[in-house]
Amino acid sequence: MTCQNCARHATEALNAVPGVERVRLQLEPGSAEVFWATDQESDISKLEKALEDVGFQCAQIAPAKFHRDTRSGKSRFSGWGLNLFLGGPVLILMMFGEWGMELGTSSNYRTFSFLFASLILFVAGSRFYRGAWQQLKKGRSNMDTLVSIGASSAYLFSIWGWISGKMVHLYFMETVGILTLISLGHWMEAKVSAKASSTLKSLMQLAPQRARRQEANGAFEEIDVSELYQGDLMEIRPGDQIPADGNIVEGKSSVDESMLTGESMPVEKSAGKKVYGATQNGQGRLLVRVVGLGEDTALARIIQVVEHAQNSRANIQRIGDKVSSVFVPVVVMLALITLFGWFVWPSGMQHISELIQPLLWSAHATESVLAAAVLHSVAVLIVACPCAMGLATPAAIMAGTNAAAARGILIRDGEALEKSGTITCLAFDKTGTLTQGKPEVAAFESFNESVDFDHVKKMTASLSAKSNHPLSRAIASMEWAEGGADIDWNDWTEHSGLGVQASRSSDDESAQDDLVRLGSLNWLRGQGVALGASDAFQKRWMEQGATVVGFSVNQNLMALLALKDLIKPKAFKVLERLRSKGWAIHMVTGDHKRTASAIASELGIEDSHIHAEVKPEQKATIIRDLQDRGERVAFIGDGINDAPALEQADLGIAVSRASDIAREASDMVLLKAGIDAIPEALNLAKSTLRTIKQNLFWAFFYNAAAIPLAMFGFMSPLLCAAAMGFSDVLVIGNSLRLRWLKK
């Protein structure tokens, strides 16, 4: 493989093999890791045939040797580095001798030029010749074909001129220059591409190689991560990287998860919470039970998504592919037209060149008609290499998806990038997306001044502690719940969907036990509790979409609590920013219209854009209705019931804590804790799409302008070789700007 285009063709060939799940290919070492689907048996012969069919030779590498060879890095004097090491000094010497000391007609200099041009042609040029030959055997042609023909033409023409004595100037320097400058372009391309994919490489290298496992005797032994099994207990010391995904069994600490989510603030962790491999433990000691290893870890799944995106094809890429598929034969034809044009009709070609010259610069001078014909046709072959066109889309997708991954945004494929550029409205699921996804106590008001308010709070928390109802859990988790455990209850009972009740000894020893209830107002009213004084509180909070529950002792109302699913802290600002970009905002929820309207009012969402009392299976219908009105819809959700809507939408975005099904149905996954990543994700996707279009434009413009200039002598073969290499670097460099896109 000689360039990113070759790598892309090889990757596509391997991905097309039935049973292959994904491919991880590295250009410079010329190696690929192929991952088979779990229900498929590996068949190396299929992979070898697929690569041979597209013109590549291959051999299987033993796994241990693969990791040693491809990850240790190569010497700077191998591959394109070797070409530069050999060709660079030779080219400088030849340029100095020919241009500086004017030795071009010297017999000794000609011999020197021939020997060194031969060395460079057969050593540095061998990589191009092998690539061209492999493609030719399959009836194909590529960039190597053009470079091989061009360099060989200049070399053979110089030998003929030297032997025949019919040429004053020989073109051995041009031969060396073509191969060296194109190698320089590929070397720079490889370096810049490595930067573009550095995020993915850094993710791969994050996971530690060692772990401390608890043995049967309770002692901890340091082992290789490959020796861990699900269910093992790991000790995570302060400052350690976590070797694998797991659940905390013991301990409390804060964990830096920024490499997964992009969030800068550490996350507090305690027993029962999940931790992820390659994240950084803080100051606490943790005992963790392993639940995910290797390809089953969160980090591995992120890497898979990024790799899939980088290997995906955007529809816009088909333009470049169609042009590239016919480009080499067309260029060879144009080179032949140039050759015969200057040889058969030199006066006409010269006349056209002279007409253009006042608008540009002086044309490249040649000593004969034959020299003009050969040199200008070689220039056409060299300058028209279609690498930039083939790189335009994959380079931008690589840079864009890596930049997104570094910010906790996973983009599934190139099509997701294209979809983002056509979105006209955003539809949000409410619960867990715009709101916290769980009820919290928004207000607590006492209706009996004779009883200590703090004691009433503790009683409500204690009474609700045994219940698993979401409202009970919200009350029991409040900070004032401490001390409630000291209260003894008798005959604790839960009435499903209504509330809880229990009895406790009365403060008056001569009286019967107090009957204490916590639950819905309708239930309390039915039990004879007087609620008249609570009307104002009920009205105020129910209008805001809250659920109001009461706490009573015997028949006396003691307190009212308003519980609501609170809006996420940054939700209003996020929606304001999205509206300012011209997107319409819709909200889809299964909640009552009153609750939905209260939430929408706080978020500034228009009444006509509220879709309330929507059943899970109807969410996709709402999206379809919007699409039928001509809207291009992005749906943002997080639950299993959001999967159909995510699938139906033009662009599906799954937010943090999204279920696996929701993630699979989405085009983007936001790993950050809040929805504040949505504007950034859409902006990055649109910027990547814009970069693809820029790359395609400049690649087409470059060839459209450069070929006529070469045909009429305005670009020498040396200049063409430099321009060809620079065009690749320009495309990748433009893509690389996405890494530094302002957050």
Q: What are phi and psi of 679, to 5 degrees?
A: -60, -40
Work out the number of other CB atoms within 10 angstroms of the CB of residue 92: 12
Give Cα separations from 659 to 260, 432, 652, 656, 666 (angstroms): 17, 11, 14, 9, 11
How far is it, in rounded angstroms, from Cα 36 to Cα 39? 8
Cα 500–chain centre separation: 49
How far is it, in rounded angstroms, from Cα 375 to Cα 380? 9
Token code pair at residue 491? 């005959």
Q: Is residue 383 within 8 Å of 706, Cβ to Cβ?
A: yes
Q: Which residues contact 353 (CB under 8 A, 6 or more apart)?
A: 363, 712, 713, 714
Reading across the β-sheet that carries 267-269, which strands appear in turn? 267-269, 253-256, 280-281
How far is it, in rounded angstroms, from Cα 65 to Cα 22? 21
How far is it, in rounded angstroms, from Cα 394 to Cα 400? 10
Length of the chain in terms of residues written: 743
For residue 578, how many C-alpha atoms fall within 13 Å in the half-sphere facing its CB? 29
For residue 248, the cross-strand partners are 288
Smallest Cα–Cα separation from 397: which of 690, 190, 666?
690
How far is it, in rounded angstroms, from Cα 425 to Cα 415? 18
Question: Which residue numbers are catalytic?
Answer: 429
Q: What angle do CA 273, 278, 282 make, to 5 degrees?
A: 60
**Burial class of residue 520 in the structure, from the number of CB atoms within 10 Å of its CB (0-12 exposed, 13-18 middle, 19+ buried):** middle
Give Cα separations from 267 to 140, 270, 278, 299 (angstroms): 55, 10, 14, 17
How far is it, in rounded angstroms, from Cα 279 to Cα 116? 54
